[in-house]
Amino acid sequence: MENISQEELPSKKEVYLFTKLSENQMKLYKELISKVLSEPDFGVNKNTYLNMLMQFRQVCNHPYLLTGMGDEKAPGYLADLIKNSGKMMALDKLLGKLFNEKRQVVIFCQMTKFLDVLQAYCTLKNYKYCRMDVNTELAQREEQVEEFTKPGSDRFLFCLTARTGGLGMNLSTADTVIIYDSDMDATMDDGAIQRVYRTGQKNPDSV
């Protein structure tokens, strides 16, 4: 197989977006801090810190990861889904722009539970998507990749966890990568990006 050097690939631009917490996120964040500080083993038990860190990450991604998804058929659910998370508000604006530009987007996240949030969002927005996590069977993974990458595909989004699929997965038809939340191991994010920015990529990439 002929190797293509990094110089022969189209250009890649990385942009970092910073958002504020929503009002609900800030409320939950403060409640978690108060709860942790009141723990009798605070400052002694390492697991207390690890549990606190995971809950803070969930709150920062979307409050529904802690509070539950609620009734997806309820009136105004989509608006609540978006406005309850600062990241989701930014993501919604970004995806609206990319959809109008007829781009193809891959979204990576760290938590399988957040894929449920994304799936509900995509369904309500009428965005056609593929979804993959660690529990997706091999045959279904291959079908999803084929559906997304085939010529003239109508799939706007491919939503998956960063550690799913391995480096052999080729999603190079996409021209945009969104890392919704970074892995604690930065090399995992780099590996995720390489599934799009790789041999076969013909378009300039935005990350």
CATH (domain of 199): 3.40.50.300
- Assess if residue 12 is contained within a domain: no
Would you state the pLDDT for residue 4? 43
Residue 77 CB partners (closer than 8 Å, separation 6+): 70, 71, 120, 124
**What Å distances lie between residue 59 and 107, 184, 199, CA to CA?**
19, 16, 37
Q: What is the pLDDT of residues 103-148, one digit of tens each?
A: 999 998 988 899 999 999 999 999 999 999 888 888 888 899 899 9
Would you state the pLDDT for residue 205? 62
Would you state the pLDDT for residue 98? 94
Range of the domain at 23: 19-206
- Assess if residue 122 is contained within a domain: yes
- Assess if residue 29 is contained within a domain: yes
- Assess if residue 28 is contained within a domain: yes
Distance, in Å, from the CA atom of 120 to the CA atom of 129, rounded to the nearest integer, reads 11
Distance, in Å, from the CA atom of 78 to the CA atom of 179, rounded to the nearest integer, reads 22
- Assess if residue 119 is contained within a domain: yes
Q: What is the pLDDT of residues 172-184, one digit of tens each?
A: 788 888 989 887 7
- Assess if residue 2 is contained within a domain: no
Confidence class for position 192, pLDDT limits 50, 70, 90: confident
Distance, in Å, from the CA atom of 90 to the CA atom of 144, rounded to the nearest integer, reads 26
State pTM to two decimals.
Answer: 0.85
If DSSP states are collapsed to H, E and C, what string results for the chain? CCCCCHHHCCCEECCCCCCCCCHHHHHHHHHHHHHHHCCCCCCCCHHHHHHHHHHHHHHHHCCHHHHCCCCCCCCCHHHHHHHCCHHHHHHHHHHHHHHHCCCCEEEEECCHHHHHHHHHHHHHHCCCEEEECCCCCHHHHHHHHHHHHCCCCCCCEEEEECCCCCCCCCCCCCCEEEECCCCCCHHHHHHHHCCCCCCCCCCCEEC
Would you state the pLDDT for residue 42? 61
- Assess if residue 71 is contained within a domain: yes
Counted domains in the chain: 1
- Assess if residue 3 is contained within a domain: no
